[in-house]
């Protein structure tokens, strides 16, 4: 069998091919090290390139979402600061209304000055509600061109409509929210017009929702004179023509309870001091007087309170003063309703339960005169309009009406607290999403490193090995490629 003959040209051709391949491998590794990339063109590794492009696209989207979240965080910080400033202004308005309700202030001078100061505070609230952040009028809803709040002849307008016109804030023009996409799959609700609030974050607010709109419904207040400790009451029995001044801890007795008491044998006394003096020298009178007082001390006061479909009987022990009575009442309310109902220091019943009707009445099963009275309805719910109307009452010199407005303004801070709480909740959500996206970025960077970036230590070792192979290939050329005549012509 004849052997296969390998010509010199075949040897040279194979040698040159291997030399070029060794040079290519060494150069490829050098490029990875120099460029810090596994490949510089998609054609070098199509499958990995497609994966790398998907990762880069995801990272670019997250970068956009992070910028949106940073914008939202700035808007919410500014909104919270503005609402907190308004809360402070309301406290100042309340203080000035207390001054205006005082009878010692002159109507023509002092109360006019107080009214002007209150109106100036209303102007300040309007300025805060027209705040612009990140090129957005943040309390204007989707209105980003005109003023959100305006004052016209003592009336407040939101997006061009009187704040008294609608109780539902969503009825105001341009009252919808503006949203930004933060990577939660933002989509529209059925119909294609409104963004699903579960898939995005609002970056503007309905200013009527923040400060209220429309008119208030029925309100209730506590008559502290009829639910206080040590109240002095005068009793006059028409049949026996005897007058007494009674002092006792607890609530006053009803007329029926007083008439049922056996008063025979007692004379009339002009005042409490006279009765106490007589009781001190008359053991029978003293015993009966103390028994009556002790009996009344055991009688707590009671209210029937309804909130929506909930109905509870609230029993309260009167305190040593109005503030202690309020504390006892709020403690009793908390046990039944949590923090949904609160009585202010001025006796006004307030609720944070939006959309639920609050009703309060005396419990007829208990002793006591009526301790609940209705506050007339028809007062504006919008805090700025309420402030301006309160200034009018102060200017008129009506102390009782001014005092009522003081209670209403004080209670409005509870409503504003809900707005602050809602903003705070969204801020927590923004922080959560910022952390979520940061974790996603770290995960994507790890994927990018695996797909695009070489292991430099490993590539350096490979390069050393390939360089040695290439150098060895060059050294083999003297024995592989025959010398030509030109080699001897040096």
The confidence band for 289, taking pLDDT boundaries of 50, 70 and 90, is low
**Span of 5-19, 173-187, 406-420, 441-455 with lowest mean pLDDT:** 5-19
Contact (Cβ atoms closer than 8 angstroms) between residue 193 and residue 220: no
Q: Where are the alpha helices (DSSP H) in 104-164?
A: 110-129
Any residues with CB less than 8 A from the CB of 72 and at least 6 apart, and which? 180, 182, 201, 203, 430
Fold of 55-214+381-438: f41 fragment of flagellin, N-terminal domain (1.20.1330)
- In eight-state DSSP terms, residue 215 is B
**Span of 286-295, 304-313, 449-458 with lowest mean pLDDT:** 286-295
Q: How far is CA 163 from CA 79, 138, 153, 208, in A?
A: 20, 18, 14, 7
The pTM for the full model equals 0.62
Q: Is the pLDDT of residue 449 over 90?
A: no
Cα 240 to Cα 258: distance, rounded to the nearest angstrom: 13
> What's the pLDDT tens digit per position in 314-327?
888 777 677 888 88
Cα 306 to Cα 114: distance, rounded to the nearest angstrom: 38
| Average pLDDT score, the chain | 76
**Span of 88-97, 105-114, 357-366, 424-433 with lowest mean pLDDT:** 357-366
Residue with tokens 């039944």: 336
Q: Is the pLDDT of residue 352 over 60?
A: yes
- The arithmetic mean of pLDDT across residues 453-459, rounded, is 70
> What's the pLDDT tens digit per position in 22-70?
777 777 776 777 766 666 666 667 787 788 788 888 888 888 888 888 9
Residue extents of the structural domains in the chain: 55-214+381-438, 218-376
Residue 111 or 318, more confident: 111
The phi-psi region of residue 265 (left if phi > 0; otherwise alpha if psi is between -120 and 50; otherwise beta) is left
Q: Angle of helix 383-396 relative to helix 46-101, nearest 10 degrees? A: 10
Cα 31 to Cα 75: distance, rounded to the nearest angstrom: 47
- In eight-state DSSP terms, residue 3 is P
Q: Is the pLDDT of residue 214 over 50?
A: yes
pLDDT at 243: 35
């Amino acid at each position: 069998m004849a052997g296969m003959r390998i010509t010199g040209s075949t040897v040279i051709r194979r040698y040159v091919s291997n030399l070029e391949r060794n040079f290519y491998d060494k150069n490829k590794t050098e490029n990875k090290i120099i460029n810090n990339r596994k490949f510089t063109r998609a054609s070098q590794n199509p499958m990995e390139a497609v994966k790398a492009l998907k990762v880069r696209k995801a990272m670019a989207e997250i970068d956009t979402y992070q910028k949106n979240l940073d914008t939202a965080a700035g808007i919410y910080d500014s909104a919270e600061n503005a609402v907190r400033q308004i809360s402070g202004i309301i406290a100042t308005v309340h203080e000035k209304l207390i001054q205006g309700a005082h009878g010692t202030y002159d109507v023509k001078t002092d109360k006019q000055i107080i009214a002007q100061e209150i109106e100036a505070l209303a102007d300040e609230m309007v300025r805060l509600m027209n705040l612009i952040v990140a090129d957005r009028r943040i309390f204007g809803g989707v209105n980003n061109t005109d003023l959100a709040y305006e004052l016209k002849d003592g009336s407040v307008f939101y997006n061009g409509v009187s704040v008294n016109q609608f109780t539902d804030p969503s009825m105001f023009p341009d009252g919808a929210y503006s949203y930004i996409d933060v990577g939660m799959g933002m989509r529209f609700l059925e119909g294609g017009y409104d963004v699903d609030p579960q898939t995005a974050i609002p970056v503007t607010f309905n200013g009527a929702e923040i400060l209220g709109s429309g008119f208030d419904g029925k309100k209730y207040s506590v008559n502290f004179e009829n639910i206080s400790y040590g109240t002095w009451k005068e009793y006059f029995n028409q049949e026996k023509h005897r007058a007494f001044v009674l002092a006792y801890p607890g609530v006053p007795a009803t007329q029926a309870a007083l008439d049922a008491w056996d008063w025979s044998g007692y004379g009339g006394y002009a005042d409490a001091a006279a009765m106490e003096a007589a009781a001190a020298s008359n053991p029978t009178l003293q015993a009966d007087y103390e028994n009556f007082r002790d009996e009344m001390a055991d009688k707590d006061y009671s209210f029937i309170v309804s909130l929506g479909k909930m109905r509870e009987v609230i029993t309260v022990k009167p305190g040593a003063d109005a503030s202690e009575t309020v504390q006892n009442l709020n403690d009793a309310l908390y046990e039944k309703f949590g923090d949904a109902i609160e009585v202010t220091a001025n006796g006004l019943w307030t609720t944070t339960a939006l959309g639920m009707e609050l009703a309060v009445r005396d419990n007829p099963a208990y002793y006591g005169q009526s301790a609940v009275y209705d506050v007339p309805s028809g007062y504006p719910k919008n805090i700025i309009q309420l402030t301006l109307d309160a200034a009018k009452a102060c200017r008129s010199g009506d102390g009782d009406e001014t005092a009522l407005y003081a209670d209403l303004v004080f209670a409005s801070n509870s409503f504003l607290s809900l707005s602050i709480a809602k903003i705070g909740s969204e801020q927590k959500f923004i922080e959560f999403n910022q952390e979520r996206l940061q974790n996603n970025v770290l995960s994507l960077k790890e994927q990018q490193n695996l797909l695009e970036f070489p292991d430099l230590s490993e590539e350096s070792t490979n390069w050393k090995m390939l360089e040695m192979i290439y150098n060895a290939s060059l050294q083999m050329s003297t024995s592989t490629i025959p010398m030509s005549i030109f080699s001897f012509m040096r």
